[in-house]
Amino acid sequence: MASTDRKVLIITNMGPKASAPFQGQFVASQVTELNAQGQTADYHYMRWHGDSLLNRLLKYPVFLLDFLWRFIFCRQRYQLIHVHFFYPTIYLALLYRVLRNRRVKIVVTCHGSDIYHYQPPGRLYRWCAKQVQAWVFTSERLSQQFFFTPAQQQVLSAGIQGRYAATKCVPLAEKDIDILYVGTLDKNKGMDRLIALLAELSPYRIVVAGTGPWQEALTKAAQGVSHLQLLGAQSPAQLQALYQRARCFISLSRNESFGLVMAEAMACYTPVIATETDGSQAQVLPAVTGYRISQQQSEPELIQQLAQHITQLLTLSADQYAVMQQACRQQAEPVLLPKVVSRLRQLYQDLDNDQHSTT
């Protein structure tokens, strides 16, 4: 696909902060890959980001002022804006349309809570949605939960970094981590469930990589528990090595629109045990790439089901495990970032062609 002189602006209200240094990294990776593939893209993200009360009160006003300074009061003019995380980030794109270019095309990628947390959607939410030209949903089930069916939409993961394309398959006998969790340490991600699982999984080595509000609770739970190791935030290269060392990756989320960490694990030939969410239903094929556990049961029953399936996976024969490893890799292949960004570039080109055909 040929490059054009169209310059794209990517906007997201996500961004790194001290407690989550890699938050929003997948959007930054998309921007990097877009530029690498010849599609010039600029990037606006929440650069002032933290956990203090002052930051929580003022981060959106600062986000807006930063946008005005960098992209409204500048000479560069954009024909297309891609918004990651629909609401309330969409207001920046609409402001640009009003102040700078009334014909700018707007693409939105919905990631989960920008739909989950706005049901039923309010009047302003609905009005903003009608101003968007194209929609991207990170899973099919997420698109089904949206309040209307857009004329221009597709299901497309945010993508995992191209580094995973060259990942080698590590045999079962060479792995030294039984159970791995990577992600934010909060209740939605199921950290209370992980703590409840510790007693059930005492024979296995568990490694947790990430930070978040439940870090203190996990630290207390780890005291005197020799089989649990907390690593804190890890770099992308460190995470890739952890995925390869793990026999099993776990996702305990209550809500998950896709779950890139599951895709990253499977790209590293590591099967996944996951609670049933939109994301796990899109990726985890029961007894093929791992196992899914229904959340339509009591928490004690869910914990027992998780422990049973983790044990079932970890006691597979080497040959059975190797078959599952290959299925995981095959499932993750379409989520590699170069393939995802190639589809995004085609979407941008289609919108550009539509605009030219109506002028």
* 114, 140 Cβ separation under 8 angstroms: no
- What residue type is 176 in one-letter code? D
- What does the pLDDT look like over 164-184, one tens digit per residue? 999 999 999 999 999 999 999
Q: What is the pLDDT of residue 358?
A: 58
Non-local CB neighbours of 296 within 8 Å, separated by 6+ positions: none
- At 19, the pLDDT band (50, 70, 90 cuts) reads confident
In degrees to the nearest 10, what's the CA dihedral of 32, 142, 153, 349? 0
Non-local CB neighbours of 161 within 8 Å, separated by 6+ positions: 29, 236, 337
- At 353, the pLDDT band (50, 70, 90 cuts) reads confident
Q: What is the pTM of this model?
A: 0.84
- Within a domain: residue 2? no
- Pick 163 or 290 by higher pLDDT: 290
**H/E element, 251:** strand 246-251
Statement: residue 189 has pLDDT above 80: yes
Q: Which residue has 């290959």 as its token pair?
A: 326
Above pLDDT 70, what percent of the chain? 97
For residue 250, the domain's CATH number is 3.40.50.2000
Domain span at residue 110 reads: 8-159+336-357
- What residue type is 286 in one-letter code? P
Statement: residue 5 has pLDDT above 90: no
Above pLDDT 90, what percent of the chain? 86
Non-local CB neighbours of 171 within 8 Å, separated by 6+ positions: 318, 322
Domain identity same for 300 and 352: no
- Within a domain: residue 3? no
Query: How many structural domains comprise the chain?
Result: 2
Domain identity same for 252 and 287: yes
For the chain, what is the mean pLDDT? Answer: 94
Q: What is the pLDDT of residue 207?
A: 98
Domain identity same for 140 and 168: no
Q: What is the pLDDT of residue 276?
A: 97
Domain identity same for 112 and 235: no
**HEC letters along 304-351:** HHHHHHHHHHHCCCHHHHHHHHHHHHHHHHHHEHHHHHHHHHHHHHHH
CA pair distance 146, 130, nearest whole angstrom: 12
Domain identity same for 146 and 254: no
- At 122, the pLDDT band (50, 70, 90 cuts) reads very high
- Within a domain: residue 24? yes
- Within a domain: residue 241? yes
Domain identity same for 308 and 239: yes
- Within a domain: residue 301? yes
Domain identity same for 80 and 213: no
Domain identity same for 348 and 316: no
Domain identity same for 283 and 188: yes
Q: What is the pLDDT of residue 22?
A: 76
- Within a domain: residue 103? yes
Q: Which residue has 């985890």 as its token pair?
A: 284
Domain identity same for 94 and 208: no
Give the single-character DSSP code of 70: I
C-alpha distance across the termini of the chain, in Å: 23
- Within a domain: residue 1? no
Domain identity same for 202 and 111: no
* 15, 24 Cβ separation under 8 angstroms: yes
Statement: residue 356 has pLDDT above 80: no
CA pair distance 22, 20, nearest whole angstrom: 6
Domain identity same for 48 and 154: yes
CA pair distance 251, 257, nearest whole angstrom: 12
- Within a domain: residue 272? yes
- What does the pLDDT look like over 227-271, one tens digit per residue? 999 999 998 899 999 999 999 999 999 999 899 999 999 999 999
